[in-house]
Amino acid sequence: MRSYSEIETTIKRATKAKGFSWGISEEVGKNIRLLEMFGLPGLKNLNQYFKIYNISNFENIGEISPSNTAKGYYCPILCGLNFYDQSPVILKFNEIEINKIAFPLIFLSFLSRASEIIGKRIFLKMDNKEFLFNFNESIYSNYLSGDILEKSDKINIKFLDNKNNFSEDDWLEMHKLSIKTYVEESEESKSRTAGAGLTDND
Sign of CA pseudo-dihedral 61, 69, 113, 4: negative
Q: What is the DSSP letter of 195?
A: S
From residue 29, how far is each of 116, 138, 156 by CA, in Å?
A: 18, 18, 25
Q: What is the pLDDT of residues 154-168, one digit of tens each?
A: 999 999 999 999 999
* 26 Cα distance to chain centroid: 16
pLDDT at 14: 98
Residue 122 bridge partners (DSSP): 133, 159
pLDDT at 31: 97
pLDDT at 19: 96
Cα–Cα distance, 129 to 123 (Å, whole number): 11
Q: Over 70: is that where the pLDDT of 194 sits?
A: no
Q: What is the pLDDT of residues 3-39, one digit of tens each?
A: 999 999 999 999 999 999 999 999 999 999 999 999 9
Q: What is the pLDDT of residues 63-100, one digit of tens each?
A: 999 999 999 999 999 999 999 999 999 999 989 999 99
From residue 80, how far is each of 2, 63, 100, 165 by CA, in Å?
A: 25, 12, 13, 30
| Dihedral over alpha carbons 68, 69, 71, 73 (to 10 degrees) | 90
Range 163-182 average pLDDT: 94
Domains, the chain, with CATH or none = 55-160 (3.30.110)
In three-state secondary structure terms, 81 is helix
